[in-house]
Amino acid sequence: QVRLQESGPGLVKPSETLSLSCTVSDYSINVGPFWGWIRQSPGKGLDWIGTISQSGTTYYSPSLRSRVTISVDSSRNQFSLKLTSVSAADTAVYFCVRDIGGGTADYWGQGTLVTVSS
């Protein structure tokens, strides 16, 4: 069983950087194969942000690529998301996931709501 838990600020000001971490439990992050982030704006559908492979290769949504960075900290069994220059449109519940390939997310964190507001 793989457990994932998101953490980070629930409120971010416009134009600033959103930073979230995901702690993986009961499973080594080095096994992978991929770790990723998906978000869901209130009342809307799911929006894929990106993934990182166990070797550190990243894959990002074309619409967010210029603002997104996903990285892994193996020593803490965590991976993280940074999204720069946020606006109200980035307000969403952010989920961290394990991706088994082909974009398939088989384990999900519970999600954390991030609101962008001044």
Partner 1 sequence: QSALTQPRSVSGSPGQSVTISCTGSSSDVGGYDHVAWYQQHPDKAPKLVIYDVTKRPSGVPDRFSGSKSGNTASLTISGLHPEDEADYHCASFAGGYVIFGGGTELTVL
Nearer to partner 1, 11 or 46 (CB): 46
Work out how close the CB of 71 gets to partner 1 at its nearest, in angstroms, rounded to a whole number.
18
Beta-carbon contacts of 6 under 8 Å, excluding residues fewer than 6 positions away, are 20, 21, 22, 94, 95, 96, 109, 110, 111, 112
Nearer to partner 1, 15 or 100 (CB): 100
Binding site for partner 1 (CB under 8 A): 44-48, 50, 59-63, 95, 100-106, 108-111
Nearer to partner 1, 15 or 113 (CB): 113
